[in-house]
Amino acid sequence: MRYRLAYMHFFLYLCTQIVQSEQMILNSEIKNFFFLGIGGIGMSALARYFHHRGYVVSGYDRTPSALTKELEAEGIRITYQDAENQLESIGLSAENTLVVRTPAVPDDSVIYTYLREQGYTILKRSEVLGMVTREKKALCVAGTHGKTTTSTMLAHLLNDANGVNAFLGGISMNYGTNLLLDKRSEYVVVEADEYDRSFHHLRPYMSVVTAVDADHLDIYGTAEAYRDAFAHYTSLITGALVMKHGIALQPRLQPGVKCYTYGVLDGHSPVSGSKPDFYADAIRVGNGKIVFDFHTPEGVIADIELGVPVWVNIENATAAMAVAWLNGVTPEVLHRGMKSYQGVLRRFNIHVNTPKVAYIDDYAHHPEEIATAINSIRKLYPERKLIGVFQPHLYTRTRDFAAGFKQVLATLDECILLPIYPAREEPIPGVTSEILGGEVVQKSELVAELKRRVAASREPVVVLTVGAGDIDRLVPEIAKALNG
């Protein structure tokens, strides 16, 4: 009880701070936005949003990337040196600047320390995104897995229908960006991130919850606390919840908020009890296509074809179409939108596809996500050898899910591990990639090692790279080497 009271006091205080900051923006006191960690996918979308609205936007990130170069080309100033003198040339002041911070920037950052000491108003990215969800009907996608793909599918469907605003957790292959803007639209699609309880700042009109498999135990401590955070999140929804059928979630819905379920009936994933409210069945796979029938509470929309024919996308598409359908998107648009959907950067992207070798890259960094990627490949290329490369992300996640990682990686025909990508964390004694099994190679050696293994194979090969660290920077070089 004491914990709950303390939490409520903190929550009310936080709401007051957000309202005050929001009022400051509305009163036009804020002229500048400075983003700490601007190169992150979520931060960059917010930076673009406020830049589009006419604010002076600048930021800091540790290293340049393709994304920061795009931001700079759009007129956003970025510094890559963690030094307070870098702020002088930008012309910021505590009176007219709102600082937006991501937890990826450490507390002892020189710039962050300086901004605190100088009295700048500093909010987390999730707090600022929460402001945006109060302005429009927010259609949010939460869950351990599938958030980015599902939210990008939903945004594409709504954009095809009547236009939409969207803050995406990845670069849409249809639009080449992680931000969609349409002032006419009453909707905003948002990926709801559970890390650090960020999604508790959102105010969803409707929300999907895809999964509640434990993650981020460095924040939550236990699987129960993790699921409880999702239960609290559902209490913030004002219109409807669309949750995957059978997940271990007990929603805490406000009176009048509707709850729907979704799922896939394929004969391989049995659904216990009654059927979901929305589901896919009659799944047909062949000739490079996946086609299925989509069931709604009012009937069947037959012959939905996936533009990205990957098995897991059947489930993602069912969730996205459910929310789109609930918001008036027609069967014609559902057909057209799902067929024209091109995917998300680093979400099961096929970079090479020849008779000798296929190369696929994916963002998967949780045992369940890696298992999903492997299963999809086994269905697409059932006769090929599968060589997997995994870069573990975070020491804590590697420690907490070591058994799960080891089990799923053992299903590969050959496994290569890169050293752990630490991100914001310090090393933990005894926690290294070696505890997951498989051969560990350095990033500098990976391309040559893959080229050697593919050349030595007597059968066709699929190479899969997975991880949420900086393994993506090797993708172009790997693709070039394997396609040569």
Task: Kindly report the CATH number assigned to the domain that includes residue 84.
Answer: 3.40.50.720
Higher pLDDT, 315 or 4: 315
Same-domain check for residues 185 and 328: yes
pLDDT value of position 63? 87
Residue 15 lies in a domain: no
Residue 322's CATH number: 3.40.1190.10
172 shares a domain with 294: yes
Q: Is 286 left (phi over 0), alpha (psi -120 to 50) or beta?
A: left
Q: Are 252 and 235 in contact (CB under 8 A)?
A: yes
Instruction: Answer yes or no: do 274 and 308 share one domain.
Output: yes
- At which of 72, 98, 123 does a domain end? 123
Band of pLDDT at residue 481, cut at 50, 70 and 90? very high
Question: Tens digits of per-residue pLDDT, 64-83?
Answer: 988 999 999 999 999 999 98
Contacts of 236 (CB under 8 A, 6+ apart): 200, 202, 203, 204
| Per-residue confidence (pLDDT) for residue 219, from 0 to 100 | 84
Structural domains of the chain, count? 3
Cα-Cα-Cα-Cα dihedral of 192, 198, 202, 204, to 10°? 30
Task: Evaluate whether residue 7 is within a structural domain.
Answer: no
396-425 residue pLDDT tens = 999 999 999 999 999 999 999 999 999 878
Residue 242 DSSP SS3? strand
Give the domain-ending residue among 88, 123, 158.
123
| Within a domain: 10 | no
Q: What are phi and psi of 202, to 5 degrees?
A: -85, 160
pTM of the model: 0.79
CA-nearest of 422, 246, 261, 255 to 326 is 261
Cα–Cα distance between 348 and 152 in angstroms, integer? Answer: 14
Q: Are both 148 and 291 inside the same structural domain?
A: yes
What's the full length of the chain, in residues?
484
| Predicted confidence (pLDDT) at residue 10 exceeds the cutoff of 80 | no
Sheet holding 206-209, edge to edge: 177-180, 165-172, 187-191, 137-142, 206-209, 240-244, 258-264, 278-286, 289-296, 299-305
Output the DSSP codes for 256-322.
T-EEEEEEE--SSSPPPSSPPSEEEEEEEEETTEEEEEEEETTEEEEEEE-SS--THHHHHHHHHHH
pLDDT above 90 covers a percentage of the chain that reads: 73
φ, ψ for residue 181, nearest 5 deg? -130, 135
How sure is the predictor about 129, in pLDDT bands with cuts at 50, 70 and 90?
very high
Residue 101 lies in a domain: yes
Can you say whether residue 290 is alpha, beta or left, with left for phi > 0 and alpha for psi between -120 and 50 degrees? Answer: beta
Q: Report the pLDDT value the prediction gives residue 107, as an integer from 0 to 100.
A: 87
Is the Cα dihedral 400, 403, 404, 408 positive or negative?
positive
State mean pLDDT over 466-470.
93
The last residue of a domain, from among 90, 123, 156: 123
CA dihedral 353→293→364→144, nearest 10 degrees, is 170
* 149 and 65 assigned to the same domain: no
CA 181 to chain centre: 19
Regarding whether 453 and 312 lie in a shared domain, the answer is no
CATH of the domain at 420: 3.90.190.20
Task: Read off the pLDDT band of 268 (50, 70, 90).
Answer: low
Give the mean pLDDT of 227-254: 97
List pLDDT tens digits, range 426-466.
999 999 999 999 899 999 999 999 999 999 999 999 999 99
271 band by pLDDT with thresholds 50, 70 and 90? low
Residue type, 322: A
Q: Is 84 left (phi over 0), alpha (psi -120 to 50) or beta?
A: alpha
- 80-85-91-96 Cα dihedral, nearest 10 degrees: 90
What CA–CA distance (Å, rounded) separates 382 from 311? Answer: 13
Contact 365, 393 (CB under 8 A): yes
H or E segment to which residue 12 belongs: helix 2-26
Structural domain of residue 366, as residue ranges? 349-482
> Is residue 19 domain-resident?
no
Across the strands, what pairs with 263? 279
Position 3 in a domain: no
Same domain, 324 and 176: yes
Cα distance between residue 191 and residue 50, in whole Å: 18
Please give the residue that has the higher pLDDT: either 25 or 234: 234
- Which range among 44-53, 80-89, 174-183, 218-227 shows the weakest confidence by mean pLDDT? 80-89
Are both 163 and 78 inside the same structural domain? no
Distances, alpha carbon 5 to alpha carbons 9, 25, 201, in Å: 6, 30, 18
pLDDT at 414: 97
- Tell me, yes or no, whether 333 and 366 share the same domain: no
pLDDT digits (tens, 9 = 90+) for 133-148: 999 999 999 999 899 9
Structural domain contains residue 12: no
What's the half-sphere exposure (Cβ side, CA atoms, 13 Å) at 45? 25
Q: How far apart are CA 449 and CA 440, in angstroms?
A: 11
- pLDDT of residue 94 exceeding 60, the answer is yes
Number of other CB atoms surrounding residue 152 within 10 Å: 32
Q: What pLDDT is recorded for position 6?
A: 39
Report yes or no: 211 and 144 within 8 Å, Cβ to Cβ: yes
Q: Do 286 and 377 reside in the same domain of the chain? A: no
* pLDDT above 70 for 3: no
Which of 358, 416, 361, 413 lies closest to 392, judged by CA? 416
If asked whether residues 177 and 115 sit together in one domain, one would say no
Cα within 13 Å of Cα(207), Cβ side: 31
pLDDT of residue 4: 39
Token pair in block for residue 474: 């090797």
Residue 351, SS3 per DSSP: strand
Verify that 322 and 208 share a domain, yes or no. Answer: yes
Q: Is residue 178 part of a domain?
A: yes
Q: According to the model, what pLDDT value does residue 267 have?
A: 60
